[in-house]
Chain A
């Protein structure tokens, strides 16, 4: 197996891919590092924290894509 090294930090997460994986390992490493880089405490905010709002606006209102709304009223 090929091992990614997704963090410039003391390694604590190891990601193994099959040797024959035909996809972009560097991209996979970057994606993994992005997830692992955002886990610190987000404690000091007395206002809006926009991460979800920004993502929602991007996904629901992307310039070129339509979004299909799910079934209205479904309980979760």
Chain B
């Protein structure tokens, strides 16, 4: 592999799925359902405090399990996107490099978005992948990021065409021009997420046909297809089920034009798997195979950057300032903060801001549900939905987001401990919180916690698993140590 991240063209990889353990039967040796496994490596990372700072730690056992599966592998980043000005302050390149070395992908992809901003007090996580600045300055910022990503990981890079729930602005490039400019300036590949483009059209942005007409289609190495769902008049890219028929039709029209396509992937999130079931995923894969048969059979053009990228225009400090002004303003608007003298104050009137605010809230509440499930159940069962929402809204307004459930939940646990009135109102809430928070503190900080149980903890959890508070449990005192 050359330092520029170029390599001789490998063959087409075929049809595949984004990997989740819930879909494991479809990847099992001998199943022959899919040709390609795409891994989001950060799903196997945890965040912890070590040696005076935050560090990521990979679940080596799961990563090696995935590496041992028979399919060709791709790596699809989800946490260090390529469209913004603020890099992840936590060291991550070595873990990405490790995943690349183990999985040997033909290319790596990441989102053309941003998800964190720089403030005087430090880096603030946005809690969501947000649309980047679509101007010439934004193009140069993105191209610099892509080149850095390519050099750090030693593989060709493709960016994913993103969804945006915001209206297109007059002062920005249209979507096709922006994607084209980034791809040509960075000399990189494109991961065409066709459902994202369809969402954008349905939600009032550019038409899919116009975007496709303006894209350098030979640079499309990979295509994603997914399902979505409605929310408040918008169509969300929710990875929530079958690919909508209009998107299948668009893909069928497009496939003969994608000379450079090497992989066609279906995306579904595990929480939505019950919607269509494993059999439904099978049917989606069959539909993708029918699309794959429409692909041109000619020799694939090579992928990877040429040496001419060093001659392109690089981002200037004023480009970073311009992009940063957009990023800070958007995050402020989503969090309900005033934007002061920002040129983007008018974006406050965009109804997409309310959608983004709700989605960020969903994401943060989901993190709490994953890592503090029993605490959240006790709150809902003890306070009711309305009061729990009010509590969570107060928390979200006060504390910054973190994409790692353990970190988000540690913050919420400390927020809750500052409200002893609530802990006292709901029976067994305090010891339930102590238990879950103790597990989190052990993973985050290596801290030891002793929990005093007043009743059989399995009886408490049994009741919460059934959706109600335990009542009238026989007293049973015990001490548990977590560390």
Contact = CB atoms under 8 A, between A and B. Distances in A.
Q: Do A and B come from one complex?
A: yes
A36 B405 CA distance: 10
Contact of A48 (B76, B229, B425): B229
A10 B387 CA distance: 39
Interface in B55-106: 59-62, 76, 78-79
Contacts of B337: none
Nearest to B57: A12
Q: How large is the interface on A (under 10, 10 to 19, 20 to 34, 35 or more residues)?
A: 35 or more
Contacts of A5: none
Contact of B111 (A34, A38, A44): A44
A50 B271 contact: yes
A48 B380 CA distance: 20
B67 to A, nearest CB: 15
A18 B200 CA distance: 57
Contact of A51 (B199, B271, B440): B271
Interface stretch (B29-37, B43-51, B177-185, B207-215): B43-51
Contacts of A36: 439, 443
Nearest to B267: A44
A40 B45 CA distance: 5
B458 A14 contact: no
Nearest to A65: B468
Contact of B240 (A8, A12, A48, A75): A48
Contact of A49 (B366, B371, B439, B483): B366
B359 A12 contact: no
Contacts of B271: 49-51, 54
A1 B367 CA distance: 32
Interface string B225-268: 00011010000111110000000000000000000000000000
Interface string A36-76: 10111111111111111111101110100101111110111
A47 B239 contact: yes
B344 interface: no
B386 A70 contact: yes
A75 B328 CA distance: 29
B143 to A, nearest CB: 22
Contact of A42 (B43, B236, B377, B419): B43
B413 interface: no
Contacts of B239: 45, 47
Interface in B350-393: 359, 362-363, 365-371, 373-374, 376-377, 380-388, 390-391
A15 B441 CA distance: 12
B384 A70 contact: yes
B366 A16 contact: no
Contact of B129 (A22, A44, A51, A54): A44
Contacts of A75: 390, 394
- A interface majority secondary structure: loop
B163 interface: yes
Contacts of B359: 45-49
Interface stretch (B8-16, B168-176, B286-294, B474-482): B474-482
Interface in B89-130: 111, 115, 128-129
Contacts of A47: 228-229, 231, 236-240, 359
Contacts of A16: 480-483
B478 A13 contact: no
Contact of A13 (B61, B363, B439): B439
A18 B335 CA distance: 46
A59 B380 contact: yes
A56 B390 contact: no
B187 interface: no
Given A23-B476, A76-B391, A59 B404 contact: no
A15 B403 contact: no
B325 interface: no
B310 interface: no
B366 A52 contact: yes
B381 A39 contact: no
A48 to B, nearest CB: 5
Given A8-B61, A13-B443, A22-B456, A43 B42 contact: yes
A39 B406 contact: yes
A39 B44 CA distance: 8
Given A46-B163, A56-B385, A22 B370 contact: no
B480 A17 contact: yes
Given A24-B458, A41-B43, A47-B237, A55 B376 contact: yes
A51 B238 contact: no
Given A55-B377, A67-B381, A69-B385, 15 more contacts: A12-B443, A13-B483, A18-B478, A23-B459, A31-B374, A36-B439, A39-B371, A41-B404, A47-B229, A50-B272, A50-B366, A51-B271, A65-B467, A76-B419, A76-B422
27 contacts: A9-B62, A13-B483, A18-B479, A18-B480, A20-B478, A23-B456, A40-B45, A41-B79, A41-B404, A42-B370, A42-B403, A43-B129, A43-B403, A45-B359, A46-B236, A46-B238, A47-B236, A48-B236, A51-B365, A51-B366, A53-B365, A55-B373, A59-B467, A62-B466, A65-B468, A67-B380, A74-B387
